[in-house]
Amino acid sequence: MQSLISSGWSTTPRMLGTVRDRPSATPYINELADLPVELLLSTTDFLSVDDWICLSLCNRRLFAIYHRRYNSTQLSREMRLSVLGRLERDRPQYFICYICLILHKDDGSEFFGLSGPFTHQSCPLPCFPNIPIGLKLRRGSDYCFGSLRKFQFLDIQLVMRRFYLGDPFGISTEALSYTQVKVQSETSPCPEITSIFSTDAQICLEQPALYFRIQHVMVAPSNKSRLLLYVSGSPYERGPQRGMFICTHMQFDGWDVVMNPVVLAYHSGEKNPSSNLNCHYCNTDARIEIREHGSYVALILTTWINLGSGLTPDDRRWKIHSHDGFLMKCNSTELKESPRVSFENASPLSLEALLLRNLSYIKDQRYRQIMQPLSRHHWEGRGVWYLPSIPIRLVHPVYQVNLRRYRRGPAAGGSFFGSCLLRVLSSFP
């Protein structure tokens, strides 16, 4: 009997071992994706919409399970942006597109096809031509003066991405630098006037934001300095003076009220007269001055604006300068900050150096030697010369390749993440 008992106990470990070695009918659950479908679906009752959307992008099984709920969910613009914002933080090689509300890939190029006049821009995003007016910088009339560099929130967004994330991401502030000379035609109201336009950007660190310094210069022969006066109702009313834009609010005061006092002070004998202005609606700083330059006299308008952090187009500092922000007004705290002081403290190029550089393009028609003429086939480009940010021959081959890549969707290479994300966001009404 004892031997039988001993024999029985001696075989038990082998039997148990044999049972343990067999594959179990119920697999061991060690991952969230291994949970039963019913349990996974019930978890969404305890999660916010953006939580379970992000959860569905973790792997193929979760995506297949949660995808059934997409068509029945109403996703607002704010919720869609919340989802994209979380994905952007986890995958910084992508950035939110506020035009089409998907993620686009940052290709790491220096200028992203945004530099130069709008007639030469080669941005690879297919949605770029459809930018809504609320994402465009409001810069007044382009008549005659014809600044052909158009700015939009995408410029600010990509420049600030480089500031936040480092060199591989976004674009440099040099992409926003632009200089243009416009020679008036013989049939224009003021054929003797030559116009110069320049813009440069600077990131200031106190409250991280992107600032613009925009300079308009009108140059006339010294013996015809009265052409710089704006006279309402005269043949010159549609002349280059009309393009000297401070902000929309001051524009309603009239060019004769804002500009003419400085010109009249020069005619009365004052040396280098100037006037400093600030708009109490949008906090635009401005300086108007007259300078003699050889046999010419120049009317100079320089403006400084704060365009915000670049994180969202709902930033008040951006919105107040966009086409949607005309009725907005800066509060008392915002008005305490001077865009001019902030920019000049951070810029390596002083205001005086900028002015001398711009005026140097006029001397002996130097602009014809170092600038590129715009196509004469475009009516806005006639008589316009511009300084390219990068050699023109380098622009087109790079962005033609990227155009093919972007047509494949928001993720390069047709990855699982990109294809799923596109299907998720396109499923919502």
- What's residue 299's pLDDT? 94
- What's residue 245's pLDDT? 83
Question: Which amino acid is residue 327, in one-letter code?
Answer: L
- For the chain, the average pLDDT equals 77
pLDDT in tens, 131-166: 898 899 987 544 334 577 889 999 999 999 999 998
Let me know the angle formed at the C-alpha of 178 by 172 and 184, rounded to the nearest 5 degrees: 170
Q: Does residue 251 register a pLDDT over 80? A: no
The rounded distance, in Å, linking the Cα atoms of 204 and 210 is 7
pLDDT in tens, 170-212: 988 998 999 999 888 777 777 788 999 999 999 998 889 999 9
Contacts of 160 (CB under 8 A, 6+ apart): 170, 203, 208, 210, 309, 310, 311
The DSSP secondary-structure symbol of 309 reads: -
- What's residue 38's pLDDT? 84
Two tokens, residue 323:
């086409």
- What's residue 19's pLDDT? 35
The rounded distance, in Å, linking the Cα atoms of 101 and 87 is 13
Q: Is 427 helix (H, G, I), strand (E, B) or coil?
A: helix
Contact criterion met (CB below 8 Å) for 79 and 50: yes
Which pLDDT band holds residue 252 (cuts at 50, 70, 90)? low
Two tokens, residue 280:
């109490």
Q: How many CA atoms lie within 13 A of 179 on its CB side?
A: 18
- What's residue 144's pLDDT? 37
Buried b (16+ CB within 10 A) or exposed e, 388-399: bbeeeeebeebb
Greater model confidence, 254 or 283: 283
The dihedral sign for the CA sequence 146, 148, 154, 158 = negative
Greater model confidence, 202 or 225: 202
The DSSP secondary-structure symbol of 136 reads: B
Q: Is 171 helix (H, G, I), strand (E, B) or coil?
A: coil
Q: Is 42 helix (H, G, I), strand (E, B) or coil?
A: helix
Greater model confidence, 381 or 368: 368
The rounded distance, in Å, linking the Cα atoms of 227 and 184 is 13
Q: Is 361 helix (H, G, I), strand (E, B) or coil?
A: coil
Beta strands in 239-344 (DSSP E): 274-278, 285-293, 296-306
List the single range of 52-61, 245-254, 295-304 with lowest mean pLDDT.
Answer: 245-254
The rounded distance, in Å, linking the Cα atoms of 118 and 124 is 14
List the single range of 106-120, 289-303, 362-376 with lowest mean pLDDT.
Answer: 106-120
- What's residue 180's pLDDT? 92
pLDDT in tens, 186-195: 777 777 889 9
The rounded distance, in Å, linking the Cα atoms of 100 and 357 is 40
pLDDT in tens, 83-123: 899 889 888 899 999 999 989 888 777 777 777 677 667 78
pLDDT in tens, 404-419: 222 233 333 334 454 4
- What's residue 36's pLDDT? 86
Domain boundaries, the chain: 2-96+411-427, 123-392
- What's residue 250's pLDDT? 80
